């Protein structure tokens, strides 16, 4: 292990909180305002459903330091404590978007003040280590589910300072993994768009195979019928209405907050004891292969996906399970139908609550859906299944890349893996960030 010098973060960087925008400042469109909900583990999510926007005129009345640019490093200053599952306070993310955003209060921006001693990318990866995230979170005070940490406390953290060329090499190695992951994400997005376009061509524009020879009645192809959602399923249910206690290193239990486009974020899921897990399995809170999982509470239908993962998990009541009757409807078609804006607009009659909208399953079962002839559903399923299989493969590759990066990260930063003699090419993304930061 290298005996790298270290210093307080305050000697090489500053941390400051975002601007306290008024609620009247926010708009439906405009410049994104980065809030705590946008700060994920490692990245900033501008697609989060809670994202709000600001008018361009806001730029004229605030300091430019609150503008978030590509490559900036952010941290969440408020949220659940590290002792709680789904810890939020102390999350560190690097902004990877071409469009600028604005920094909202309780999100901290970390800015290097001494570039001769410290590289921003190296600092991001160091602050992303589990050990440092725990250190930041342990500085927090307040209730465990809503703890706060001060920028003045964060800058007291010690930072190792290898020679600057070594910092840049370490960052380049880790950044290369991130760029591979991002490339795969772009491929996933293309596959998603292809599958969506096929659905829209066939079932929205009605230009499905053989449509020229199909009889229509009142604008609807013969053989298509309105069917209640419940009649298409063997089961419509949700997860557990009570949450067992957290058990470190136990079995996964997912809530709506853990949902992504195609599964669950393992880093945020709560873990429970095996006996508690088995109780929930017996209560039918475990998804089966080909089940459709939907976000039931909060931003309902924000996520809808076909369950295909091979690890064990049970779910809470904020997620609904639709177990399709495969003799009547097939999973990828069913999920695509539920994702449509027209379907979501119909949901208003099956939702209760204003502060926390929630799908009422007994009513949801009665929602009428226009269902094509089964042979056409089967043709669609055959067409898109290879695309979704490829998406699943890319997601698995990304998970392996992330695990490898996470294993390398502490060894590189501690000096256990010596990079001094390595000839390392900087990935394109790092070059672009350097140019942005120097502009």
Handedness of CA 339, 341, 347, 348 (dihedral sign): positive
* H or E element in which residue 220 lies: strand 220-221
Q: How far is CA 103 from CA 19, 74, 106, 189, 435, in A?
A: 6, 9, 9, 27, 21
* H or E element in which residue 378 lies: helix 374-414
Which residue, among 405, 413, 403, has the nearest Cα to 127 in the 3D structure?
413
CB 301 within 8 A of CB 262: no
Residues in the chain: 439
Task: Give pLDDT tens digits along the chain (439 positions).
Answer: 466 889 999 999 999 999 999 888 898 889 999 999 899 888 898 887 678 899 988 877 889 999 999 999 999 998 776 555 456 888 899 999 999 999 999 999 999 999 999 999 999 999 988 888 888 878 888 776 678 899 999 999 999 999 999 999 999 999 999 999 999 999 999 999 999 999 999 999 999 999 999 999 988 999 999 999 999 999 999 999 999 998 988 999 999 988 988 999 888 889 999 999 999 999 999 999 999 999 988 766 789 999 998 789 999 999 999 999 999 999 999 999 999 988 888 877 777 766 677 888 898 899 999 999 999 999 999 999 999 999 999 999 999 999 999 999 989 988 888 888 777 776 666 655 555 444 4
CB 119 within 8 A of CB 168: yes
Question: Where would I find the H helices in 271-373?
Answer: 274-282, 331-339, 341-346, 361-364
Question: Where would I find the H helices in 128-233?
Answer: 130-138, 151-154, 164-199
305 three-class SS = strand
Instruction: Report the predicted TM-score, pTM, of the whole model to 2 decimal places.
Output: 0.84
* H or E element in which residue 376 lies: helix 374-414
Q: Counting beta carbons within 10 angstroms of the beta carbon of residue 20, is it exposed (0 to 12), middle (13 to 18) or buried (19 or more)? A: exposed
State both tokens at 204.
């929205």
State both tokens at 51.
């994202």
Q: Note every long-range contact of 126-132, with CB atoms under 8 Å and residues 24 or more positions apart, other chains counting.
A: 126/159, 126/160, 126/413, 127/73, 127/75, 127/92, 128/41, 128/42, 128/92, 128/409, 129/409, 129/410, 129/413, 131/410, 132/92, 132/157
370 three-class SS = strand
Strands 13-17 and 52-54: unpaired
State both tokens at 161.
């300072």
CB within 8 A of 399, min separation 6: which ones?
A: none
Direct distance between the N- and C-terminal alpha carbons of the chain, in angstroms, rounded to an integer: 36
Can you name the residues that pair with 228 across neighbouring β-strands? 368
Which residue, among 83, 90, 101, has the nearest Cα to 44 in the 3D structure?
101
Which residue, among 7, 1, 14, 41, has the nearest Cα to 120 in the 3D structure?
14
Which residue, among 399, 94, 98, 395, has the nearest Cα to 261 in the 3D structure?
395
Question: Where would I find the H helices in 226-372?
Answer: 274-282, 331-339, 341-346, 361-364
CB 76 within 8 A of CB 91: yes
């Amino acid at each position: 292990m290298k005996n790298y010098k270290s210093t307080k973060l305050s000697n090489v960087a500053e941390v400051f909180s975002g601007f306290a925008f008024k609620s009247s400042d926010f708009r439906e469109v405009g410049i994104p305002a980065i809030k705590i909900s946008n700060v994920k583990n490692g990245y900033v999510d501008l697609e989060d459903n809670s994202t709000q926007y600001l008018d361009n005129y806001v730029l004229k009345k605030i300091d430019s330091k609150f503008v978030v640019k590509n490559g900036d490093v952010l941290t969440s200053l408020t949220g659940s404590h590290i002792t709680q599952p789904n810890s939020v306070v102390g999350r560190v993310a690097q902004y990877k978007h071409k469009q600028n955003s604005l920094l909202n209060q309780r999100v901290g921006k970390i800015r290097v003040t001494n570039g001769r001693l410290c590289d921003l990318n190296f600092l991001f990866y160091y602050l992303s280590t589990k050990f440092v995230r725990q250190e930041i979170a342990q500085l927090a005070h307040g209730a465990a589910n809503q703890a706060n940490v001060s920028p003045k406390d964060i800058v007291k953290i010690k930072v190792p300072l290898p020679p600057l060329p070594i910092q840049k090499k370490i960052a380049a190695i880790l950044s290369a993994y991130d760029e591979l992951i991002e490339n795969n994400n772009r491929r996933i997005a293309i596959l998603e768009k292809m599958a969506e376009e096929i659905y829209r061509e066939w079932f929205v524009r009605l230009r499905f195979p053989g449509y020229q020879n199909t009889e229509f009645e009142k604008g609807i192809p013969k053989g298509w019928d309105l069917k209640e959602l419940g009649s298409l399923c063997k089961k419509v249910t949700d997860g557990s209405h009570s949450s067992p206690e957290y058990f470190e290193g136990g079995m996964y239990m997912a809530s709506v907050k853990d949902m992504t486009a195609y599964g669950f974020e393992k880093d945020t899921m709560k873990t429970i004891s095996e006996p508690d897990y088995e109780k929930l399995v017996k209560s039918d809170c475990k998804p089966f292969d080909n089940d459709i999982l939907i976000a039931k509470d909060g931003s309902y239908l924000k996520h809808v996906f076909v369950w295909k993962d091979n690890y064990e998990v049970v779910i809470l009541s904020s997620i609904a399970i639709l177990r399709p009757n495969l003799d009547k409807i097939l999973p990828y078609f069913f999920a695509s139908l539920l994702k449509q804006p027209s379907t979501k607009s119909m949901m208003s009659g099956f939702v209760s609550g204003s502060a926390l909208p929630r799908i009422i399953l007994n009513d949801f079962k009665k929602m009428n859906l226009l269902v094509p002839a089964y042979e056409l559903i089967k043709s669609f399923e055959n067409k898109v299944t290879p695309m979704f299989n490829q998406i699943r493969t890319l997601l698995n590759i990304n998970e392996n890349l992330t695990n490898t990066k996470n294993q390398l990260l502490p060894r590189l930063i501690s000096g256990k893996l010596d990079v001094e003699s390595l000839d390392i090419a900087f990935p394109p993304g790092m070059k672009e960030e350097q140019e942005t930061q120097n502009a």
